[in-house]
A and B are shown apart, each in its own frame.
Chain A
Amino acid sequence: MSWAGRTGVRITGWTGERLLAAASRLTAPLTSPSTPDDYLGLLDPLLSARHPAGRVTAVRAEGPAAATLEIRPGRGWARHRAGQYLPVGVEIDGVRHWRTYSITSPPDAAGAPITITVKADPRGRVSPHLVHRTAPGTVLRLGPPQGEFTLPEPPPTRLLFVTAGSGITPVMGILRTLARRSPPAPDVVLLHSAPDPHQCLFHAELADLAARLPGLRLQLTYTRTDGRLTPDRIAGLCPDWRQRDAWVCGPAGLLTAVEGYWTAAGLRHRLRMERFRLTPVRPAGAEDTGGRVRFARTGTETDVPASATLLGSGETAGVVMPYGCRMGICHGCLVPLLDGQVRDLRTGEVHGEPGELIQTCVNGATGPLVLDL
């Protein structure tokens, strides 16, 4: 699409959006207690501004266990900055699950498609679904783009990116943004590690970018043959690392080592890091032991024994808890879970994802957890 064409779409989209917003405000008293949004969402989920959604327009395999999803966002979704991640709501068996994935496309006009690249974790529930069982046309819910692992404006003149595995995804968004600038990229070093060439995400595109952009130096490390990236190797591969602003994304081990190294050199302020957000893993055997519960707002902490409810334990610890029937029927005691997992004391089922509303009167702790109360 030409630049003029793109501008035209943007203005039409902007006007259309303003008209729709005005019409929604005018008709709101007619749809009370629902909202015009609820009706628009029935015509097309992408028209709902209250619950932003996007439609998958293409799915491209990236090797055997990863895929890039191209998503056209609908109303109410804010533009992202390169390097940010995106909360994605995926419905599986009628239940919505939220995960975050780095956006790999450069920021574009509102409404333009964005891409995320997802690696399937065979133990996970959501990533294999997105990679192997998501067809074009699927509607995904979208949260607001988040994260500070971004490129400042204007970018610094000398940059260093250190990535491992799917840690390349946010950096890919940044590289693609840099590649479009004119003049394109300043002085960039990218040190990326993957198990082997076959499992290296964006292998061909990275080589192409390195060939096209004179300022980009690419150094690939294959852990099967070369071993892992360590701070010493980073310093060896990029001797002027002290003179560069650094972005590091990868497994926790790499981040901890790098953070210590940069801090020791007094350069922590030039380092930006992005941690993987992993699916909560249930600690082995924790269901028999209860767990320590922290109430984020009040700051209270308490140990919840195996058979005790979160409601009862919270009240004993002096936290003012919402409550109702105290037997799991009225949903009057719902509290958002921030971290960890809970166990339904009626069925023994272990469940819980960040943000899920928990019935505290029939759920107990399974391992450490945090409640938004």
Chain B
Amino acid sequence: MATAVTAVPDKQVDLTEELGRELDRIRSEVVAARGADDARYIRTVITVQRGLETGGRLALAVSVLPPAWLAGTAMLTTAKILENMELGHNILHGQWDWMGDPAIHSTTWEWDFLSPADAWKRTHNHLHHTYTNVVGRDRDLGYTILRMSPEQPWYPVHLLQPLYNALLAPVFEWGIAAYDLEADTVAAGRKSVRSFLGDLAGLARKTVRQLAKDYVLFPLLAGPSAVPCLLGNLTANALRNVWAHTIIFCGHFPGDVQTFSEEQIDGETRGQWYLRQIQGSANIEGSPLFHVLTGNLSHQIEHHVFPDLPSNRYAEVAPQVRELCARHGLPYVTGPLHQQYASMWGRVLRHALP
């Protein structure tokens, strides 16, 4: 199913490099254009997010009243989604480093998610974005527990993967935190035990802070509303987890998205890397509000081609990338959420079997 990128005719190579040059040009145009409006955008999202979080926490403090519980949980869920997707994920990518604002910078940001920012930046920004969908290199391809491509070896445990994929969704942040520890690479000897233990200690410290806030301190402050407050926080975290799981899985695992072998990326050029990013990602169509709530990961193709461009620019870049794909006869996998979601599940089910 993968396009052969080794031993291709010269003409094909020329076209791929031409594609790379055109994408480089689009990137330069955005870099030259970003400015005060973009800075205002990210600061507005931060203000809205912190406002929603404050409102949600206040409403949950009196959540013995059912309407307050509903409003508080809704606000807190939205705040957590915005914080993880449009803020955390994108700021940690360095999308806003160009502003030179130490408060909105990949080196200083810490997010409201279990996995510490440093661990995430290594496994996600470096490994996943460099080796996207390369079997054996991109650990995000099934997150080491799911079999998402026929090239991955089948084991009987994969028969259960539809079940554990469903169970993973509401506790997604715990799955990612465990995954970012890279226990499998320690077993394979590619990561030292010492650095594993360091990561484990970092995760433990962050886990204590995260759990204390949502499940001890805020419920205690809520007094008579302690139990509904705790349940509201639990619901917000679970809904955010389900949402993040859905968006991320729809970005790489719908049926038409390709996977690659390690031999194929041997000596890969910049043009070929771009080509692989396009073929290994899938977009989700929706309204502007939907795009913001996905952290603009609904523009997964554009994000993978330009991972460090400001997320608010993906929407304007998307038609150009799509037109480029059409011109080069490349697939541009896109569709509404329900379609991508069903397609992703089809893939989980299909590869559960040998």
Do A and B share a complex? yes
* Residue positions of A touching B, CB distance < 8 A: 29-30, 32-34, 38-39, 41-42, 50-51, 91, 93-97, 324-332, 334, 346-347, 349, 356-357
Chosen A-B contacts, 19 in total, with CB atoms closer than 8 Å, are: A29-B217, A30-B218, A30-B221, A33-B111, A39-B54, A41-B103, A50-B103, A94-B37, A95-B39, A324-B122, A324-B126, A324-B130, A325-B126, A325-B130, A327-B130, A328-B308, A329-B129, A330-B93, A332-B126
**What's the nearest-Cβ distance from chain A to residue B343, in Å?**
27
* Residue positions of B touching A, CB distance < 8 A: 24, 27-28, 31, 34-40, 46-47, 50, 54, 57, 93-94, 97-103, 105-107, 110-112, 121-122, 125-126, 129-130, 206, 209-210, 212-213, 217-218, 221, 270, 273, 307-308
The SS class assigned to the A binding surface is loop
Q: Are A42 and B50 in contact (CB under 8 A)?
A: yes
Contact A32-B126, Cβ < 8 Å, known A96-B100, A327-B273, A331-B93: no
- Distance A30 CA – B37 CA, assembled complex (angstroms): 31
Q: Are B212 and A29 in contact (CB under 8 A)?
A: yes
Q: Are A330 and B129 in contact (CB under 8 A)?
A: yes
9 closest A-B pairs by beta carbon, nearest first, are A331-B94, A94-B39, A330-B125, A33-B110, A96-B100, A93-B35, A324-B126, A325-B130, A330-B126
A-B contact count (CB 8 A): 109
Residue of A with least CB distance to B83: A34
Q: Are B28 and A357 in contact (CB under 8 A)?
A: no
Q: Are B102 and A51 in contact (CB under 8 A)?
A: yes
Residues of chain B contacted by A42 (CB below 8 angstroms): 46-47, 50
Q: Are A33 and B206 in contact (CB under 8 A)?
A: yes
Q: Are A95 and B206 in contact (CB under 8 A)?
A: no
Residue of B with least CB distance to A45: B103
- Distance A329 CA – B307 CA, assembled complex (angstroms): 6
**What's the nearest-Cβ distance from chain B to residue A119, in Å?**
24
Q: Are A29 and B213 in contact (CB under 8 A)?
A: yes
Q: Are B125 and A325 in contact (CB under 8 A)?
A: yes
Residues of chain A contacted by B218 (CB below 8 angstroms): 30
Contact residue among B24, B28, B37, B125 (Cβ-Cβ distance under 8 Å from A331):
B125
Q: Are A33 and B106 in contact (CB under 8 A)?
A: no
Q: Are B112 and A331 in contact (CB under 8 A)?
A: no
Q: Are B129 and A325 in contact (CB under 8 A)?
A: yes
**What's the nearest-Cβ distance from chain A to residue B252, in Å?**
16
A94-B37, A324-B125, A327-B270 given; 7 more Cβ-contact pairs under 8 Å: A30-B217, A32-B212, A42-B50, A94-B99, A97-B100, A356-B100, A357-B97
**What's the nearest-Cβ distance from chain A to residue B338, in Å?**
31
Q: Are B125 and A32 in contact (CB under 8 A)?
A: no
Residues of chain B contacted by A357 (CB below 8 angstroms): 97, 105, 107
